[in-house]
């Protein structure tokens, strides 16, 4: 993977945005991303956002009922971008689903590896269980109480604060057990520096124009 892979991710992002908007399938795409990532066990370093939800074994887990629809829809994008891993594709679909529904912009770092090893059934939250069960599941993933509140939408803050918290928690969920490749970290740092430099130039030009007009 390299710069071309990152470019392919951006092309896939555009295709996902068009697909999700046309099919009005944001909720099920977000559920697909959450369920692929939500099996992570921080102690054993197993499960997580690795694309294994597409296997015949895992998609038949009771909690994943109906998600075959989302997997089939993602196949349309995968066919046009075969170099992208399923793990990246499913998490990107979740990020785009949030954006399409006018939610917060979530930072997305690609580079996840695919796996065909499915975790045991029962790792995902059960809506019939109480708060203690929810905490147990999230703690197993390595997430916090704040992540529980943000990801479950149990908030009472003005929208901006919630969006900020949700975006941060969603990013952590999508990267459970995932360490971005070094070349991507370097590329992101260069991008940040380039944006900062451009912003500085714009600001300096603005003040220059103001001072020139005063003269």
* Start-to-end C-alpha separation, the chain: 53
Helix, strand, or coil (residue 46): strand
Residue 131: which residues within 8 A CB-CB, separation 6 or more?
none
Helix, strand, or coil (residue 151): helix
* Beta partners for residue 46, in sequence order: 41
SS (H, E, C) 59-81: HCCHHHCCCHHHHHHHHHHHHHC
170 is catalytic: no
CA distance 15 to 146: 32
Residue 96: which residues within 8 A CB-CB, separation 6 or more?
13, 16, 17, 20, 29
Catalytic residue among 35, 81, 133, 155: 35
114 to 27, 28, 194: CA distances (angstroms): 23, 21, 32
CA distance 41 to 48: 7
Q: Which helix (H) or strand (E) holds 49?
A: none
Catalytic residue ranges: 35
């Amino acid at each position: 993977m390299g710069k071309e892979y990152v470019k392919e991710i951006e092309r896939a992002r555009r295709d996902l945005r068009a697909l999700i908007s046309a099919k009005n399938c944001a909720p099920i795409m977000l559920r697909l991303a959450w369920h692929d990532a939500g099996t992570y066990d921080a102690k054993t370093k197993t499960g997580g956002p690795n694309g294994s939800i597409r296997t015949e074994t895992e998609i038949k887990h009771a909690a994943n009922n109906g998600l075959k629809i989302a997997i089939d829809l993602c196949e349309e994008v995968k066919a046009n971008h075969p170099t992208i891993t399923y793990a990246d594709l499913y998490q990107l679909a979740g990020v785009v689903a949030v954006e399409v529904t006018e939610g917060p912009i979530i930072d997305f770092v690609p580079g996840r590896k695919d796996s065909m090893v499915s975790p045991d059934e029962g790792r995902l939250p059960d809506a019939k269980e109480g708060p203690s069960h929810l905490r147990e599941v999230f703690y197993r993933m390595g997430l916090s109480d704040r992540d529980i509140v943000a990801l479950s939408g149990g908030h009472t803050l003005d929208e901006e604060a919630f969006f900020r918290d949700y975006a941060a928690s969603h990013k952590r969920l999508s990267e459970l057990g995932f360490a971005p490749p070094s070349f991507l970290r370097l590329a992101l740092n260069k991008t940040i520096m380039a944006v900062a430099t451009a912003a500085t130039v714009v600001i300096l030009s603005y003040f220059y124009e103001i001072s020139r007009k005063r003269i």
